[in-house]
Each structure stands twice: as structure tokens, then as C-alpha cells.
Amino acid sequence: MGIIELLFIAIGLSMDAFAVSIGKGLSVREIKMRHSMSVGVWFGGFQALMPLVGYCLGASFASVVADFDHWIAFVLLGLIGVNMIREACSDDENVNPDFSIKTMFIMAVATSIDALAIGISFAFLGVNIVTSAVVIGITTFAFSVVGLKIGNIFGCRYKSKAEIAGGIILICIGVKILVEHLSA
């Protein structure tokens, strides 16, 4: 997997955190540095941690599924992408101005579950997990901070579009992985 593909995966994964950050930005009158650091560190940190956990889980049984690992990556990326698009199209809006440890922890875990599945896929594909986790974490940190600011300025206008774009990116990468392995 090349750096461009990895960057697209990182952008796709960061869209949930970006969308939640837009909602957080909408919920506060004035963004302070602690708000930016909170969303960036929580979301970026968990988006970096979860692929590592997924990779460890996937690596433990990767040799068993080596013949069909591309199908697993395709299905996982496809399901995550479709779920992101489905959530973007739902009417469920939940904006909470709370930046407490409990609230941020729950949101960080919720927005990074898909990164766990990506980590499992990375184990099957033999991807460098350290580089991947760093790129995903930094990308999510940046998108979260930007999302907080956008939410504060513009409101939730871009939340659904960001989630849909992230879902489409993940589905396309899943298709690309499948096509590459089937044509090899």
C-alpha cells in the first residue's frame, strides 16, 4: 500500500471524528485552545491506537485467512463505508457541549471503531502498522481541529457531506484492494 492510499484511508477514517467535531464546534460559543487540543488528542489518539489493536488481533490469525484476506479487507471497508453513508443520511443529530473526559472518551471510542477493523485489514495486507497509525492519528487530529472550527463558524452544514465522502473513499479503497488481488 502506497502513501497516497494510506492518506486516503486516513482521510476516510477521520470523517467520523470530523463530523463529531463540527457538532462540538456548533455547541460552544467561543473555541479555546483546550477545546481544539481536546478533540485533536482524543480523536487523533484513538484513531491511531485502534489500528494497532486491530493489527495485533488480525496478525494472530492472518496466516489462516491468507487466501481470502483481500475479500475480508473489501467487506470490512465496504461495510464501514456503507455504515458511514447510512449514518450521514439519518436524521439523528446529537450536539453536546460537554468536553469532559467521560464524554470525549466515549466519542473517541465510537468514532474509532472503524479504525479497529482497518487495523485487522492491514494485518492481512502486511501494511506497516506504525507508519499507518501515525498517519491516521495525525490526519484525524488535523481534521478534528478543523472540524471544530468549521462547526463553530458554519454549523452542521458540512457534517453529512463529510461522512458521505469518508464512506465513499473507504468503499473505493476496498474495491481497489479487491481488484488488485483478483487481477494478480
Residue 61's pLDDT is 78
Half-sphere exposure of 180 (CA within 13 A, CB side): 13
Residue 7's pLDDT is 94
Running DSSP on this structure, what letter comes out for residue 100? -
Which residue shows C-alpha cell 461495510? 79
Range of the domain at 178: 3-183
Taking only the tens place, the pLDDT of each residue in 41-79 is 999 999 999 999 999 988 887 667 667 767 877 887 788
User: Is residue 94 pLDDT above 60, yes or no?
Assistant: no
User: Is residue 116 pLDDT above 70, yes or no?
Assistant: yes
Task: Give the residue with greater pLDDT, 182 vs 133.
Answer: 133
Residue 92's pLDDT is 60
Per the CB < 8 A criterion, the answer to whether 167 and 15 are in contact is yes
What is this structure's pTM?
0.73
Total tally of structural domains belonging to the chain: 1
